């Protein structure tokens, strides 16, 4: 009786190790694929290591300037309303950055 429980324990340990190794390799494969496809920016200035756009307050038009935050705008860095379709498609709630210049 003792011998068979030792064999069952060995199979249990081997099964657990196999399952852990399989889970580990599965998570590595699919987490790497996910990180590449989870980029927000899929088209804008992809040749740059970081996208940075600057604006001087003095250069802003009187009234408001609307900047894109969803990376989908065809007029980037300005918003063209593309976030509306993006939000419907992804379930996200992105909106633009609106800067108001009331100074004359």
Two structure tokens written together for 21: 């190794």
User: Could you report the per-residue pLDDT of 15-69, keeping only the tens digit for each?
Assistant: 777 777 777 766 666 655 444 456 777 788 888 888 888 877 777 777 888 999 8
Structure letter (DSSP) for residue 78 = B
- Pick from 7, 103, 2: which is nearest to 56 by CA? 103
Q: Would you call 50 a catalytic residue per the annotation?
A: yes
Query: 3-state DSSP: the chain helix, strand, coil percent, rounded to 5?
Result: 45, 10, 45
The answer to whether residue 2 scores a pLDDT higher than 70 is: no
Tell me the pLDDT of the chain averaged across its residues: 77
Catalytic hit among 29, 34, 45, 50: 50
User: Could you report the per-residue pLDDT of 71-101, keeping only the tens digit for each?
Assistant: 899 999 999 999 999 899 888 898 999 988 8
Cβ distance 101 to 60 under 8 Å?
A: yes
The answer to whether residue 13 scores a pLDDT higher than 90 is: no
Helices (H) and strands (E) counted in the chain, each on its own, are 2, 2
């Amino acid at each position: 009786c003792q011998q068979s429980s030792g064999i069952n324990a060995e199979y249990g340990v081997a099964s657990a190790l196999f399952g852990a190794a399989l889970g580990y390799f599965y998570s590595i494969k699919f987490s790497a694929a996910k990180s590449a496809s989870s980029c927000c920016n899929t088209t804008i200035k992809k040749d740059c290591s970081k996208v940075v756009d600057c604006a001087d307050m003095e250069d802003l038009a009187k009234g408001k300037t609307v900047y894109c935050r969803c990376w989908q705008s065809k007029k980037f860095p300005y918003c063209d309303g593309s976030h509306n379709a993006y939000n419907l498609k992804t379930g996200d709630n992105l909106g633009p950055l609106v800067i108001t210049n009331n100074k004359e």
